[in-house]
Amino acid sequence: MAIEKITMPQLGESVTEGTISKWLVSVGDKVNKYDPIAEVMTDKVNAEIPSSFTGVIKEIIAQEGETLPVGAVICTMETEGEGAVTAETAEAPKAEAAAPAPTQTQAQAPKKPAGEKGRYSPAVLRLAQEHNIDLEQVQGTGMGGRITRKDVLKLIESGNVPTPSQTAAPVQAQAPVQTVQEAPKAEAPVSAAPKAAAAPSVPVQAGDIEIPVTPVRKAIATNMLRSKHEAPHAWTMVEVDVTNLVAYRDSIKDEFKKREGFNLTYFAFFVKAVAQALKEFPQINSMWAGDKIVQKKDINISIAVATDDALFVPVIKHADEKSIKGIAREIAELAAKVRAGKLRPEDMQGGTFTVNNTGSFGSVQSMGIINYPQAAILQVESIVKRPVVKDGMIAIRDMVNLCLSLDHRVLDGLICGRFLARVKEILENTSKDNTPIY
């Protein structure tokens, strides 16, 4: 028998932590390798954590609602022999293992010091603050007497809530320190993020609605704060005449939908143009890495897909090698996965440049926050008909603004201006004669 640890996986670039939203197994359950054991939520993806082994769940360490860094142990599993437990060995009578189980657990998990009780997860702290609970008076049922989210919920349901005394330190003074089970190697990425400022005191009056911050919204806020905190943002914009592109797409969209089964959107043309320009200006396809700049070989375009309450950024891999039809298919498939809650961690990884379709909301000018650690993000605004001067005459043309936010540590205005000029040239010369769809 061997005790194996299952840790919080890396669920996307720049993701440093995840929140256990639901356990799909219990202690004592038999699990096969790759079976889902828990649902986890980050700012980029909702996903299931697969088991790395075949065996029996020995101990569940992370509680539902608890946020842990990448690499932290979330549960342990008992496996047999050097490899995975087979289906036959997993069917062995449980009675034989029942007796020595407590002894094995005690041997594997050394007793935590009494001080561990005072280390609370963010979920426990939030509930304590909302219900004015003195956590020093709560008896925890977790490892080493640690207070879990379920302990606090049980108190709230019972109505027997211990409140702080006049001399007791306020719960707010408790910093959301690392959880007991965190792996030491996870300390570095966590400390790399900027420290959040103290929450402002906002008076709540009758009729006001208090909306709890979800784990997804909290993670989005953390990542956006890190991007703005670390990357010196600069911004530039070009105006593009896409009259010919609009006419071309509108003339073939119905036949395309009938033949392929998905829509040929304007956005596919923009992503293709950006991928082609990135190939010609590879400096834009870079990332800041402290003492060096990493220029990425692969051109993987991140696209922003919004739901009612969150924003996800799946990735079109090797976009420069795909046709407009291939890009349109991936856009449709990734958007469907996001809205169905079926996006996988691998769908979010590897992005090197982000294109955001803000025009779908009617926006005509905006400045995006860079998708850290990438070096730039392009906002494709709404296509609108406007009077413009063409060949010395006023004409009604289909116009669009392309707004580029850039990390000034990596990129300068000259290279970004040339990049945008090339994207503009490709789009303005898009037509039936020189732009194949397939």
Choice between 354 and 108, residue whose per-residue pLDDT is larger = 354
pLDDT of residue 189: 40
CATH number of 2-108: 2.40.50.100
- So what CATH class is 222-428? alpha beta
Q: Which of 12-16, 201-205, 427-431, 434-438 has the lowest mean pLDDT?
A: 12-16
pLDDT of residue 383: 96
Task: Please determine whether the domains at 2-108 and 222-428 fall in the same fold group of CATH.
Answer: no
Choice between 130 and 368, residue whose per-residue pLDDT is larger = 368
Cβ pair 51, 78 in contact under 8 A: no
Mind spelling out the 3-state secondary structure of 41-54? ECCCCEEEEECCCC
CA 282 to chain centre: 25
Mean pLDDT across 193-220? 73
Q: What is the pLDDT confidence band of residue 187, given thresholds at 50, 70 and 90?
A: very low
Q: Which of 57-61, 84-88, 123-127, 162-166 has the lowest mean pLDDT?
A: 84-88
- Render pLDDT for 255-265 as a digit per residue (tens, 0 to 9): 999 999 999 99
pLDDT of residue 399: 97
- Render pLDDT for 287-325 as a digit per residue (tens, 0 to 9): 988 889 999 999 999 998 877 767 788 999 999 999 999
Annotated catalytic residues are 408, 412
Mind spelling out the 3-state secondary structure of 233-275? EEEEEEEEECHHHHHHHHHHHHHHHHHHCCCCCHHHHHHHHHH
pLDDT of residue 170: 42
Cβ pair 136, 173 in contact under 8 A: no
Q: Is the pLDDT of residue 180 over 90?
A: no
Q: Where are the domains of the chain?
A: 2-108, 114-190, 222-428
Q: What is the pLDDT confidence band of residue 108, given thresholds at 50, 70 and 90?
A: very low
